[in-house]
């Protein structure tokens, strides 16, 4: 369960403010976040992930109050509980496919490289159709393949929340559909909560909930509980 209460956030020196009075998202659900560019969709994901700290208010994920964690605790929380997927994949170009998937194990103290982690990474790659590509440089992969590597990286730690920021934004419709299927399968199979920013309204029917920033976010974004619509 994700709970946001009386959240206010503003970037220093910017006129942009994000205000969310109340927002609750149930466990193991898929939520789409839609809205115009600059409305605060990515900011919301970053606040949930603990990348950004709210100016006031609180965010809790399960029993963890993200907003009151220290920097180090938020980093550990991210590595342990959050899987992040970005629009431009954000893979490390000098690492091969397998090393990119294993990256969270190398950059923190939460996960460690072990035989079982490697096997899991290989299984994840196989599950997304990238078997035999483990040693390939990521620069040699297609856009769709890169996004699949990014998904495997996000799924490695069995995160309870998967935050995806326009993961299909740079993909063609066919690949986009494959990626969507993968993400939604992950929610069902791994008991994960998915929050995904998207501009593609045709995908909304596949989500359990939708947060639409379009209706109320200019100039000051404000989300209330009733703004979270249940998809039909």
Partner 1 sequence: MNFTNALYLATRSLWWFRGRAITIMLCLALTLWLPITVRLLLNQFKAEIVKRADATPLIIGSRGSQIDLALHALYFDSVSPDLTSMSEAAYIQETGFAVPIPVHIAYRTQSTNNVDGVPIVGTTVEYFEFRKLSLQSGEGLAILGDCVVGSNVARKMNLQPGDRILSAPKNAFNLAGDYPLRMNIVGVLAPAHSPDDDAVFVDIKTAWIIDGIGHGHQDLTAADVDQDILLDKTDQSVTASAAVLPYTEITAKNVNSFHFHGDESTFPVSAIIAVPHSRKDQTLLLGRYASDRSELAQCVKPAKVVEDLLSIVFRVERLIWISSLMSAIVTALLLGLVLLLSIRLREAEMRTMHKLGCSQFTIITLVGTEMAILSLAGLSLAIIAAWGSHWLASDWLRSLVF
Given the rule CB under 8 A, which residues bind partner 1?
46, 49, 51, 71-72, 75-76, 78-79, 84, 86, 90, 92-95, 99, 103-110, 113, 153
Q: Which residue has 């409305």 as its token pair?
A: 39
- Compare residues 104 and 144 and give the one whose CB is closer to partner 1: 104
Shortest distance, position 16 Cβ to partner 1, whole Å: 19
Name residue 193's beta-bridge partners: 161
> Closest approach of Cβ 145 to partner 1, in Å?
18
Minimum CB separation of residue 106 from partner 1 in Å reads 4
Nearest to 123 by CA among 103, 142, 102: 102
Nearest approach, Cβ of residue 75 and partner 1 (Å): 4
Nearer to partner 1 among residue 100 and residue 168 (C-beta): 100
Select 103 or 220, whichever has its Cβ closest to partner 1.
Answer: 103
For 93, list phi and psi in degrees, rounded to 5: -65, -25
Q: Is the CB of 84 or the CB of 186 nearer to partner 1?
A: 84
- Quote the CA–CA distance of 190 and 28 in Å, as a whole number: 9
Is the omega angle on the peptide bond into residue 219 within 30 degrees of 0, that is, cis? Answer: yes
Q: 138-156: buried (b, 16+ CB within 10 Å) or exposed (e) per residue?
A: beebeebbbbbbbbbbbbb
CB 226 to partner 1: min, Å: 31
Which lies closer to partner 1 via its Cβ, residue 112 or residue 181? 112
């Amino acid at each position: 369960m994700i709970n946001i209460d009386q959240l206010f956030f503003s970037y220093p020196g910017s006129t942009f403010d994000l205000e969310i009075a109340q927002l609750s998202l149930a466990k193991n659900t898929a939520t789409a976040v839609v809205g115009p560019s600059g409305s605060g969709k990515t900011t919301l994901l970053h606040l949930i992930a603990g990348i950004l700290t709210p100016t006031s208010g609180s965010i809790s994920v399960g029993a963890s109050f993200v907003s009151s964690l220290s920097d180090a605790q938020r980093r550990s929380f991210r590595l342990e509980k959050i899987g992040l997927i970005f629009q431009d994949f954000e893979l490390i170009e000098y690492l091969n496919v397998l090393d990119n998937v294993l990256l969270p194990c190398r950059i923190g103290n939460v996960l460690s490289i072990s035989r079982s982690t490697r096997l899991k990474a290989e299984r994840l790659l196989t599950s997304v159709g990238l078997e035999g590509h483990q040693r390939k440089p990521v620069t040699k992969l297609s856009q769709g393949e890169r996004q699949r590597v990014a998904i495997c990286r996000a799924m490695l730690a069995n995160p309870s929340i998967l935050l995806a920021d326009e993961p299909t934004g740079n993909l063609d419709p066919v690949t986009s559909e494959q990626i969507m299927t993968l993400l939604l399968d992950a929610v069902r199979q791994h008991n994960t909560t998915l929050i995904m920013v998207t501009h593609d309204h045709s995908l909304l029917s596949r989500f359990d909930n939708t947060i639409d920033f379009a209706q109320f976010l200019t100039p000051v974004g404000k989300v209330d509980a009733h703004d979270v619509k249940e998809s039909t």
